Chain A
Amino acid sequence: MEAYLGIDVGSVTTKLAVLDKNDELITHTYRLTQGKPIDMVQQGLVEIKEQLPENVDICGVATTGSARYLAGVVVGADLVKNEITSHAVAAMLHFPEVQTIIEIGGQDSKIIIIRDGVVTDFGMNTVCAAGTGSFLDHQAVRLNMSIEALSQRALDSRTPTRIAGRCGVFAESDMVHKQQVGHRIEDILYGLCQALVRNYLNNVGLGKEIKPPIVFQGGVAFNQAIVKAFQAELKAEIFVPPHHEIMGAIGAALLVHEEMESNGNDSKFRGFGVSGVKYHTSSFECKACPNLCEIAKLALDSQVIARWGGRCDLWERIPAEEVK
Chain B
Amino acid sequence: MRIGIPRALLYYQYYPMWQTFFEELGAEVVVSPPTTQAMLAEGSARVVADTCLPVKAFLGHVLSLVEQCDRIFIPAIRSVKKNTCNCSKALGLPDMTKAVIPESPPILDIDIDINRGKRVLYQAIYKLGRHFTWNPFRVRRAATAAWQAYLNYRELMSSQGLTPRQTIEKLSDAPETKGEMSSSYPAPTRATIALIGHPYIIYDEYISHRLVRRLETAGIKILTPKMLTIEELESAITRLAGRAYWAYEEEIVGAGGHYLQSGADGVIGIMTFGCGPDSLMMDMVARRAARPQATPFMSLTLEEHTAEAGLVTRLEAFTDMIHRKKRRQGSR
Which of A85, A127, A312 is B317 in contact with, Cβ under 8 Å? A85
User: Which of B227-235, B257-265, B320-328 is found at the contact surface with chain A?
Assistant: B320-328
Task: Report if A311-B206 is in contact (Cβ < 8 Å); known contacts: A82-B316, A122-B317.
Answer: yes
Pairs across A and B, CB under 8 Å, 25 listed: A66-B309, A82-B312, A82-B317, A82-B320, A84-B313, A84-B316, A84-B320, A118-B321, A118-B328, A119-B317, A119-B325, A120-B296, A120-B325, A121-B297, A122-B298, A122-B321, A124-B314, A126-B301, A126-B310, A207-B287, A207-B290, A289-B36, A292-B37, A311-B209, A312-B179
| Alpha-carbon distance A119/B38, docked complex (angstroms) | 40
B residues in contact with A207, CB < 8 Å: 286-287, 290
User: Is B130 part of the binding interface, using a Cβ–Cβ cutoff of 8 Å?
Assistant: no
Q: How far is the CA of A120 from the CA of B296 in the complex (A)?
A: 6
The residues of A that contact B316 with a CB separation of less than 8 Å are 81-82, 84-85
Interface size on A, residues (CB 8 A): 25
Using known A-B contacts A84-B313, A84-B317, determine if residue A118 contacts B324 with beta carbons closer than 8 Å. Answer: yes
Q: Knowing that A119-B320, A126-B301 are A-B contacts, what are 8 other residue pairs whose CB atoms are under 8 Å apart, sorted by A's residue number?
A: A66-B313, A84-B320, A117-B328, A119-B325, A121-B296, A121-B297, A207-B286, A290-B37
> Which residue of chain B lies nearest to A119 when distances are taken between CB atoms in the complex?
B321
Instruction: Pick the contact of A120: B301, B313, B321 (CB < 8 A).
Output: B321
Q: Which residues of B contact A311 (CB under 8 A)?
A: 205-206, 209-210
Q: How far is the CB of B238 from chain A (nearest CB, A)?
A: 24
Complex interface: chain A residues within 8 A of B310 (CB): 124, 126-127
Could you count the A-B residue pairs with CB atoms below 8 Å apart for me: how many are there?
69
B window 175-230: CB within 8 A of A: 179, 205-206, 209-210
Tally of chain B residues near chain A (CB < 8 A): 31
Complex CA distance for A290 and B60, rounded to whole angstroms: 13
Contact string against A for B residues 150-169, beta-carbon threshold 8 Å, 1 for contact and 0 otherwise? 00000000000000000000
A-B residue pairs, 4 tightest by C-beta:
A84-B317, A82-B316, A290-B36, A290-B38
A291 partner, pick from B179, B206, B314, beta carbons under 8 A: B206
Q: A residues near B, CB below 8 A?
A: 66, 81-85, 117-122, 124, 126-127, 207, 209, 289-294, 311-312
The smallest beta-carbon distance between A73 and chain B, in angstroms, is: 16
Looking across the interface, which residue of chain A has its beta carbon closest to that of B210? A311
A85 to B319, alpha carbons, bound, how many Å?
10
Considering the chains assembled together, what is the distance between the CA atoms of A124 and B316 in angstroms? 13
| Nearest-Cβ distance from residue B204 to partner chain A, whole angstroms | 12
When distances are taken between beta carbons in the complex, the residues of chain A under 8 Å from B314 are 124
Q: How far is the CA of A293 from the CA of B305 in the complex (A)?
A: 12
B216 to A: closest C-beta gap in Å? 13
A84 to B309, CA, bound (A): 13
Known: A119-B325, A207-B286. A290 touches B39 (CB 8 A): yes
| Closest A residue, CB atoms, query B322 | A119
A161, B236: Cα distance in complex, Å: 48
B321 touches A83 (CB 8 A): no
By a CB distance below 8 angstroms, the chain B residues around A209 are 290
On chain A, the residues within 8 Å of B39 by CB distance are 290
Verify B37–A291 contact, CB threshold 8 A: yes
> How many Å from the CB of B66 to the closest CB on chain A?
16
B132 to chain A, nearest CB (A): 33
Question: Which among A82, A126, A209 has the greatest number of chain B C-beta atoms within 10 A?
Answer: A82
Contacts of A292 in B (CB 8 A): 37-38
Question: Which of chain B's residues has its CB closest to A289's CB?
Answer: B36
Chain A: CB-nearest residue to B38: A290
A288 to B306, CA, bound (A): 17
- Bound CA–CA A118/B328 (angstroms): 8
B317: chain A residues at CB < 8 Å are 82, 84-85, 119, 122
B210 cross-chain contacts in A, Cβ below 8 A = 311-312
Taking the nearest CB of chain B, how far is it from the CB of A59, in angstroms? 22
User: Closest CB-CB distance, B18 to chain A, in whole Å?
Assistant: 25
User: Shortest distance in angstroms between A314's beta carbon and chain B's nearest beta carbon?
Assistant: 10
* Shortest distance from the beta carbon of A177 to any chain B beta carbon, whole Å: 29
CA distance A311 to B324 in the complex (A): 28
- Residues of chain A contacted by B325 (CB below 8 angstroms): 118-120
Contacts of A312 in B (CB 8 A): 179, 210
**How many whole Å from B267's CB to the nearest CB in chain A?**
12
